[in-house]
Amino acid sequence: MADDLGTDGLENRAKGTAKEVEGKVRNAVGGLTGDTSEQLKGKGKELQGKAQRKIGEAEDDADLNR
């Protein structure tokens, strides 16, 4: 069971980082094209990624403290 918990944290960190990168790219593309809607979508995706990454970090910390 402990392996499953460790994997969850790693998985959330990886998925969160990917979302952050996707958000940064969308934001940059929106900035280059002048599409503020795309910039906002990028910022939103970036924040989702940060939150998911932080959840993964917290899961990893919780696993270490067991």
pTM above 0.75, yes or no: yes
At 7, the pLDDT band (50, 70, 90 cuts) reads low
Q: Which residues are CB-neighbours of 14 under 8 A, at least 6 positions away? A: 56
Of residues 57 and 63, the one with the higher pLDDT is: 57
User: Could you tell me the CA-to-CA distances from 22 to 2, 3, 18, 53, 62 in Å, in that order?
Assistant: 31, 28, 6, 14, 28
Domain limits, the chain: 2-64
Would you call 35 helix, strand, or coil by DSSP?
Answer: coil
Predicted confidence band of residue 40 (pLDDT cuts 50, 70, 90)? very high
Output the pLDDT for position 13: 95
pLDDT attached to residue 3: 46
- What is the rounded CA–CA span in Å between residue 66 and residue 4? 14
